[in-house]
Amino acid sequence: MKCGGCVRSVERTLLDQPGVQRADVNLVSRAAWLDLAESEGSVEAVLQALADRGFPARERSLNQPLETPGSDDSAGQSWWRQWRQLMVALLLLLLSVLGHLSEAGRLSLPVIGSLPFHAALATVALIGPGRPILVGGVLAARSGAPSMDTLVGLGVGSAYLASLVALFWPQVGWPCFFNEPVMLLGFVLLGRFLEERARYRTGQALKQLAQLQPETARLLLDDGAIREVRVGALRPGERVQLLPGDRVPVDGVVMQGHSAVDVSSLTGEPLPLEAEPGTELASGSLNLEAPLAMEVQRVGSETALARIIQLVEQAQARRAPIQGLADRVAGRFCYFVIGLALAAFLFWWLIGADLWPQVLEASAPGMMAHPMHHAGLGSGAETPIGLALQLAIAVLVVACPCALGLATPTVITVATGLAARRGWLFRGGDVLETAAGLDQVVFDKTGTLTLGRPLVTAIRADDPERLLQLAASLEQTSRHPLAHALLQEAQRREIPLLPVSQVRNVTGEGLIGRLEACGTEVRVGKPEWLQGTGLSWGEAFTTWQAKTEGTLVAVAEADRLLGLVQIEDQLRSDVLTALQQLRKQGLQLAMFSGDREVAVRRLGQQLGFAESELGWQMRPEQKLARLEQLGRQRQVAMVGDGINDAPALAAADLGIAIGTGTQIAQDTADLVLLGDRLDNLPEALRLARRTLAKVRQNLTWAFGYNLIALPIAAGALLPSHGLLLSPPLAALLMALSSVTVVVNALALRP
């Protein structure tokens, strides 16, 4: 793919195929991300349809590792081919310039200054470096989707053919400009090479992520021996050894050893993780201090690193809504340019030269009036048809759908790569655009504003040991932070757990299960929930509940309340800084929680929330309804970490999951903040706003360039100012337009 017109054509071709439900095409990575119902269509049919339209492609499995620079032979051959074409084109361009100098008497090179020599140069340029452009342009035109190659091919071909006519039939009075094809191809190929080099840099962040996974690992055998194996050969359950300085090859759990592990490459966390037996390590982390023995848990595409790379790749393919206009314009742009070139040709041939006779004097060389003269840059047109040809060629070459096609995806690619290196996973260009336009951010409390690692601070019960034993036994199946607090307290008191069965979760309320020994039903959850089931509630418990701050958990056995447990969570160290930064960015904040009113109000006062910005004792469906209500008035983001937050994350304009939360929360969210720092959120939103500003700059440049350059190329300023935009200068401007867009994207900073 060369330009936005190609993207539009590929996308239309893909969506026309049976079974393709969605297709996101990226000009920067030259990749398409498909949602394909294989029961209705096949990948082979899709590939064949693309090949028939002049866009040969190959399938890349999700399990296939990302290609790193230098790992793909075909990529290396493509670079060499481009470099060779460019060198040949520049050599021909140099000879053409020497020919002009000889023709003007500046150099004494009689053969090089002759017209047949320039004709031979143009022929070699078309057959050599220009052949792929001509072939690609013809294929695109035949498939009904003219591309950048079509425009350049038309410009180069028409200049060459017109010069041949003037050479063999001098009586037509046309100027010979054999230098135009040579210069056009030289500048176009130079621009494409520079653009490709700059485009290559846009994907570096993703390639650096892929390089975090080592190629080999040290496998620990049953007899204690160590064997070096390929990472792809590892299987869950096997054990590997990590030496200081080794990258973690796969996801696993530390079995032996203590060491500091650098996880900054994945999460952006500046402080190392203290790894000990039981610590989970993600692939791509760096062991710093001491040897570790780790048991393999997940390999291949299931590892944390592979999932991050997949998310980033998919994000780069998903378009921002702002890109839609550019893609629609770029898709029809080639037809418009061809029409404009034809209109310019007819106007200056039939009307323009008669209306303004002076234009021929402005474009003529003056001192060389012979029709066989080999014209210089933009001069030499002595007849209306000669001038019309030259202006039509300039229109074809100066047009740049490339800049329109690259304006958005280059910025999205750079932004998602930068974000991934800092542990912020945006799921697409549409997510970045939404994040840039937020009005309000709503936070869940437990595990988001607080650490999510609460501790038991008080127990009100006749038999605290029995209460803790039953509660912890039931909660051992849960990953809720409150369950962890109960289990931690039972472990601290060395209370043995009892076997339970038929455990079920009542969403947002608590757990119900049965003791296997006697079949008695046990309930653990919100006091209000247990009260609502008709459970008898003593006055002492009611008084204690009313006075107690923090979260309360009630425990009941059969129809008897055993007591209440007070659990206090701890505030994140960076939460005040994060909220202050968000408020400075002009965002409204709110906090929704399933916790008790007393606990929520107390935390709200600490963090500067107004009462109207707080919600307490909210079930998941209530959070969902409140978010939908807010969403009718403004753009709202929801920040959460738990299973009960998943519906709200999905319903919000922007769902944001904290990376330490549950997998379902991360899968539902649009933006995942890996690591344990909430102050990453204002930085990620700041990056989103800078990204959208860059996109707007690029689109303004791309549209503005074409709106200004095309009328000048068509001769709009020729009658009044005698300004003629020569085809070679037009080609140079076209190349610079694309390069400018890519370089501006690379200037993005987090």
Q: Is the separation of the CB atoms in 660 and 451 below 8 Å?
A: no
- Contacts of 629-636 with CB under 8 Å at 24 or more apart are 630/440, 630/442, 630/590, 634/439, 634/440, 634/588, 635/434, 635/437, 635/438, 635/439, 635/440, 636/438, 636/439, 636/440, 636/441, 636/442
Please give the structure tokens belonging to residue 119.
């004709």
How many residues belong to the chain?
750
Residue matched to tokens 């029809």: 332
Please give the structure tokens belonging to residue 187.
């500048």
Q: Cβ atoms within 10 A of the Cβ of 259, count?
A: 21
DSSP symbol at 303: S
- Annotated active-site residue in 149, 430, 444, 569: 444
Helix (H) or strand (E) holding 240: strand 239-242
Please give the structure tokens belonging to residue 520.
């008695």
Helix (H) or strand (E) holding 220: strand 216-220
- Give counts: helices (H), strands (E), the chain: 28, 24
Residue matched to tokens 């990258």: 247
Helices (H), 104-142: 115-127, 131-142
Q: Cβ atoms within 10 A of the Cβ of 533, count?
A: 12
Using alpha carbons, select from 77, 55, 73, 79 the residue that is nearest to residue 3.
55
Taking the C-alpha atoms of residue 695 and residue 491, their distance in angstroms, rounded to an integer, is 54
Known catalytic membership, residue 149 = no
Q: Kindly tell me the burial class for residue 165, based on how many C-beta atoms sit within 10 Å of its own C-beta (0-12, 13-18, 19 or more).
A: middle
What lies within 8 Å, CB to CB, of 155 at 6+ separation is 184, 393, 394, 396, 397, 727, 731
Q: Kindly tell me the burial class for residue 253, based on how many C-beta atoms sit within 10 Å of its own C-beta (0-12, 13-18, 19 or more).
A: middle
Region of residue 667 (phi > 0: left; psi between -120 and 50: alpha; otherwise: beta) = alpha
What distances in angstroms separate CA 254 from CA 248, 261, 278, 279, one per listed residue? 11, 11, 5, 5
What distances in angstroms separate CA 40 from CA 20, 53, 167, one per listed residue? 8, 21, 58
Taking the C-alpha atoms of residue 81 and residue 536, their distance in angstroms, rounded to an integer, is 83
Q: Which residues pair with 554 in a beta bridge?
A: 525, 564
DSSP symbol at 396: H
Residue matched to tokens 């206009």: 325
Using alpha carbons, select from 74, 29, 320 the residue that is nearest to residue 196.
29
What lies within 8 Å, CB to CB, of 399 at 6+ separation is 151, 333, 334, 337, 706, 709, 710, 713, 734
Q: Which residues pair with 287 in a beta bridge?
A: 261
Using alpha carbons, select from 74, 129, 166 the residue that is nearest to residue 371.
166
Catalytic residues: 444
